[in-house]
Chains A and B, each alone.
Chain A
Amino acid sequence: MSRLPEFHAAKWDEPVIMELGRPGGRGQIFPKPESEIEAEVGADLIPAGMARKDRPALPEITEFEAQRHYLHLSQMTLGMMGVSLFGTCTMKYNSKTSEYATLRPELAEVHPYQHPDTLQGVMGIVHDFDHMLRSLSGMDQFIFQAGGGADAAYTMAIVARAYWADRGMLDQRTEMVTSIQAHPCNPATAAAAGFKVVNLPLEENGYPSLDALKAAVSDKTALIMINNPDDMGIYNPEIKEWVRVAKEAGALCFYDHANFNGVMGKLSARELGFDACMFMLHKTFGAPKAGGGPAVGAFGCSDELAPYLPCPVVAKSGDKYILDEDRPKSAGKVREFWGNIPQVVKAYAWARGMGAEGINLASDISVVANNYMDKRLSEIPGLAISNPHISANRMEMTRWSFAPFAKKPASEQLISPIAWRTTASTPSG
């Protein structure tokens, strides 16, 4: 069977919401305040100077119209609960069981400032999931405050800032080293945190050379940020040496685990020498990406960096879970509260559903499937793998070039949607 299935989103001739409805249309009605309230407080409770006089130019539509309109918009979206071949995002099937669980009021209608005694369920899940990530990475403590992979990279930057400030060396350790292949969030967050960015170029083998790294790191280097496999799917076999060189120069080493999918269960960031790492729960751990969040960048680090973590940290004291806010060396918060907790619960559910064996198998399958896809794509005339001279297997992702197609007449530029989606760049982090 060699039929190429076609798919495309529904196309409605859907007006913009502002064009719908008519004056007086209502999609939601709130009750009037009870009579005893009106009698007690009266009307006109907003001071005259601050009372709104105009009517906001919002649509006036019925509930039915709102539902139909937004259903149409969802149907005009190819987002799906199935296969995505987008590069670094490593999206995977998201189970409906975890969705169901997080919609329950025991989580949806929970306030982060409730007394910890009333949050034992969710804190227990956070605590246990922290321990699963510790096992997967070798790190000593995880937090979930970061709202995405980029926010986790930012967390690393501010933790590094606090670490060097605590040693009185922030004016000396001013540089961050990464590769030109790294996701933009690595250099951008380090720059936003005040570090000067050094980007290493790629060499012939698909990753920067050790010599380039040695030339870049010095006693000015505050931290290095690396992903591996990188965004071309190539694993840098010299990574241990990289970490050794960076640490010899005194730098902190951050493993951006955006591409963990291909190696999960097989590597430990800590055993490779890293001080900290991050996992994207909204991708690697089976929580939905949701068109760009709510996401979670789980940030884990060694005991040495733990004092600088943003608060709160969920901990266990005797039989009870507690929120540890008493961390005087904390770098400060990157975001309010503890994080996108439903996504953490979904990631916990995924990890529980998979177990150690399932996680290992998922990594096997992703690497096999990636190479299978590469093989099949290579059979399409005119489609070329990027950097064809590199013989290494592309793990978990690949880049392909459409350059040969571009030279063909437009009528012959028929590209399978699968091939297109494989190579298109994607916002990530």
Chain B
Amino acid sequence: MPTETKSHPWMALSAPGAIDDMLKTIGVSKVADLFEQIPQDHYRKKPLDMPPALTSEMELRRDLVTRLKQNGDCESNLSFLGAGVWQHHVPAIVDEIVGRTEFATNVWGSYQSDHGRNQAWFEFSSQLGALLNLDVVQLPVYSWGCAIGHAMRMAARITGRSKVLVPQLSDPERLSVIKTYCQPTEMDDSIEVVMVAADPATGRLDLSDLKSKLGSDIAAVYFENPGYLGTIETEAAEIAKMTRAAGAETIVGVDPSSLGVMTAPGDYGADIVTGPVQPLGVHMQCGGGAGGFIASRDEERYVHNYNGFLVSIADTARSGEFGFGLACPHQNSYGMREDGNDWTGNSTYLWAIAGAVYMSLLGPEGFAELGRLIVSRARYAARLLDEIAGVKVMWPDGHFKEFVVNFDGTGRTVSDINDALRAKGIFGGKDISEEGLNLGQSALYCVTEVHTAADIRRLADTLREILA
């Protein structure tokens, strides 16, 4: 009797007879013989409890689409949510390229077989390096928060110190990841995270508080530019100078969508730079578009402390020819297991390809246009909202694409206001009133290039109506 199988569209060897043919060649009579290493009492006792199979593509597709349609999305609604994932325009060519089977593959190819992918990765690093004015960019890690965590651990290895300074006005989501990476103090090599106060008048880092905390025990100072609440850190060069004077590393977090109009971090003294890759041509995907980069100057102290993949270009043995390969491949955990720098694994390398295509499409002028458009529209939104009775925009003139809107004067909660907005097809800013930032009933609004003047007026008009 042949082994009974029902052919499944996704498994070539499920066609009747295929298993038997292989068993014959192997020289065993039944499939179970090949599992002989598993003792009988290891087999599961409880039967699998799975929903009925949808082997028909037609049925499966209907199930997926029906379920996903229960979501509200930011195309059919007007959304002002940001805070770590932002709604940006994704050029069609980016979707085309990252959707290519060769890149969105089920395979992990070898470096020899995937020369094109390696080149695309190299081009991601090179172009992002041009935006940052830094020469070394590692392939992205899981998220921005993870990138910051790894960067802090790099700084601790480099300096031999175990304390980092972080802005009080930090994103709690990223901060939670940072704290995970820096470990609880019970562990021997933990890193202590110390908060630096913000200047209430500007939302920027309080330099006197920073100075008082900068000592010989500080491994790194971390700040973001623009900051979590959208503020532009105008004293970035001074912070880097103070940090260097204390023998610590300056780690900066930047939003790459700002770098057509904002100074590159490599130009104001940043040593290690981190940031999100999602703004570089990746859809939000409910947070699935997250990825984080780490970059630095091309100096041994940094290069030898990366935890992941560095893709480099080199001449081959043939004159005039070049190829791409991993630089310092053995210093990460693949090469040295627990003795390597930190650890690494599958990450978000498809987004490196998205980023490479995106940056090449924009070029220097595209980034400048993008930056001007975002900052203009965000500033316009802030002005319009600030005019509404009871509504106050914090630090109205010092932000890039995000800004804080305070509703204390309306007597309403952000949660209540957002519910009312949602009923009218608008996703209001992220409610930050419970984040311990002492900003009252406030929301973090995000305005990007996708928001037209009419969209912004619709928001202002709807808010006015709700608050009347």
| A113 CA / B427 CA spacing, docked (Å) | 9
State how many residues of chain B have any CB contact under 8 Å with chain A.
186
Whether B169 is near chain A, meaning CB under 8 Å from some CB there, is no
Question: For chain B residues 50-69, which have a beta carbon within 8 Å of chain A?
Answer: 50-55, 57, 60-61, 63-65, 67-69
Bound CA span A84–B102, Å: 13
What are some 12 contacts across the A-B interface (CB < 8 A)? A56-B131, A57-B364, A80-B107, A97-B60, A118-B77, A122-B286, A188-B340, A237-B42, A271-B45, A291-B105, A291-B350, A345-B68
Indicate with 1 or 0, residue by residue over B123-156, a CB within 8 angstroms of chain A CB atoms. 1001100110100000100111110000001000
Q: A16-B122, A30-B366, A340-B288 are in contact. Are A290 and B361 (CB under 8 A)?
A: no
Of chain B, the residue at the smallest CB distance from A372 is B22
CA distance A31 to B45 in the complex (A): 63
Question: Residue on B with the closest CB to A373?
Answer: B22
Q: Is A73 interfacial (CB-CB < 8 Å)?
A: yes
Q: Across the interface, which residues of B come within 8 angstroms of A237, CB to CB? A: 37-39, 42
Q: Are B184 and A81 within 8 A (Cβ)? A: no
Instruction: Say how far A339's CB is from chain B's closest CB, in angstroms.
Output: 7
Asked if residues B360 and A332 are in contact (CB atoms below 8 Å), the reply is: no
- Collect the chain B residues with CB atoms within 8 Å of residue A73's CB: 116-117, 119-120
**A335 and B146 contact, Cβ closer than 8 Å, known pairs A290-B350, A341-B288:** yes
What residues on B are CB-neighbors of A193 within 8 Å? 183, 187
Contacts of B72 in A (CB 8 A): 114, 117-119
Judged by a CB distance under 8 angstroms, whether B91 is at the interface is yes
Near B by CB (< 8 A), chain A positions 240-260 give 240
* Known interface pairs A9-B115, A149-B346; A33-B288 also in contact (CB < 8 Å): no
Give chain A residues whose Cβ lies under 8 Å from the Cβ of B110.
421, 424, 426
Q: Is the CB of B97 within 8 A of A70?
A: yes
Neighbour of B61 across the interface among A101, A148, A286, CB < 8 A = A101
Partner of B107, one of A74, A86, A100: A86
Residues of B within 8 A of A52 (CB): 259-264, 368, 371
Q: A119-B71, A352-B51, A371-B26 are in contact. Are A66 and B93 (CB under 8 A)?
A: yes
Residues of A within 8 A of B27 (CB): 375
Contact call B50/A292, Cβ cutoff below 8 A = no
Q: Give the distance in Å from the alpha carbon of A197 to the alpha carbon of B339 in the complex.
A: 10
Q: How far is the CB of B218 from chain A (nearest CB, A)?
A: 21
Query: Bound complex: CA of A85 vs CA of B357, how far in Å?
Result: 30
- Contact assessment for B262 and A50 in the assembled complex, using a CB-CB cutoff below 8 Å: yes
CA distance A280 to B345 in the complex (A): 12
A76 close to B285 (CB less than 8 A)? no
Complex CA–CA separation, A72 to B117 (angstroms) = 10
Considering the complex, give the chain A residue whose CB is closest to the CB of B153.
Answer: A192
Does A40 belong to the interface (CB within 8 Å)? Answer: yes
Of B28, B51, B347, the residue contacting A293 (CB under 8 A) is B347
Q: In the complex, what residues of B have CB within 8 A of residue A82's CB?
A: 106
Contact of A70 with B356 at beta-carbon distance under 8 Å, contacts A114-B72, A356-B48, A393-B34 already known: yes
* Interchain CB contact under 8 A, A113 and B430: yes
- Residue in chain A with minimal CB distance to B235: A49
**Does A33 lie within 8 Å of B377, measured CB to CB?**
yes
Query: Do B8 and A74 touch (CB < 8 A)?
Result: no
Q: A124-B67, A128-B51, A334-B177 are in contact. List 14 more A-B contacts (CB 8 A).
A: A18-B126, A33-B380, A49-B237, A58-B364, A76-B114, A110-B284, A113-B83, A124-B70, A189-B333, A292-B108, A336-B144, A341-B287, A368-B34, A392-B37
Is B103 interfacial (CB-CB < 8 Å)? yes
Distance, CA A154 to CA B338, complexed state (A): 12
Distance (whole angstroms) from the CB of B341 to the closest CB of chain A:
9
> Measured between C-beta atoms, what is the minimum distance from A115 to chain B in Å?
6
Residue of A75, A234, A292, A341 near B347 (CB, 8 A) is: A292
Partner of B453 from the list A16, A36, A60, A171 (CB cut-off 8 Å) is A36
**Of residues B51, B102, B119, which shows the largest number of chain A Cβ atoms within 10 Å of its Cβ?**
B102
User: Smallest CB–CB gap between B259 and chain A, Å?
Assistant: 7
Which residues from chain B contact A119 at a C-beta distance below 8 Å?
A: 71-72, 286
Instruction: Tell me whether A289 and B105 are in contact in the complex, defined as CB-CB below 8 angstroms, given that A266-B35, A368-B22 are known contacts.
Output: yes
Task: Let me know if B315 is at the binding interface, CB within 8 A.
Answer: no
Q: Confirm or deny: A224 has a beta carbon within 8 angstroms of a beta carbon on chain B.
A: no
For the complex, is B351 an interface residue (Cβ under 8 Å from A)?
yes
Q: Would you call A402 an interface residue if the criterion is a C-beta within 8 Å of the partner chain's C-beta atoms?
A: no
**CA of A96 to CA of B99, assembled, Å:** 10
Asked whether any CB of chain A lies closer than 8 Å to the CB of B283, the reply is: yes
Cβ-closest 3 pairs across A and B: A150-B345, A355-B53, A337-B287
Q: Is there an interface contact between B46 and A268, defined as CB atoms closer than 8 Å?
A: yes
A93 within 8 A of B: yes
Do B73 and A109 have beta carbons less than 8 Å apart? yes
CA distance A54 to B130 in the complex (A): 11
Q: B residues within 8 A CB of A125?
A: 67-68
Bound CA–CA A193/B298 (angstroms): 28
> CA of A110 to CA of B72 in the docked complex: distance in angstroms?
7
- Interface centre among A21, A36, A79, A282, by most chain B C-beta atoms within 10 angstroms, is A79
Q: Which residues of B contact A153 (CB under 8 A)?
A: 345
State whether B264 touches A291 (Cβ < 8 A): no
Asked whether A383 is an interface residue with its Cβ less than 8 Å from the other chain, the reply is no
Q: Known contacts A124-B70, A332-B177, A339-B288: does B187 contact A354 (CB below 8 Å)?
A: no
B272 within 8 A of A: no
**Known: A66-B357, A151-B142, A192-B342. Is A291-B114 also a contact (CB below 8 A)?**
yes
Judge whether A213 is part of the interface by a CB distance below 8 angstroms: no
Residue of A nearest to B140 (CB): A293
Let me know if A235 is at the binding interface, CB within 8 A: yes
Contact of A267 among B42, B344, B368 (CB under 8 A): B42
- Indicate the member of A63, A149, A237, A289 with the most B CB atoms within 10 Å: A289
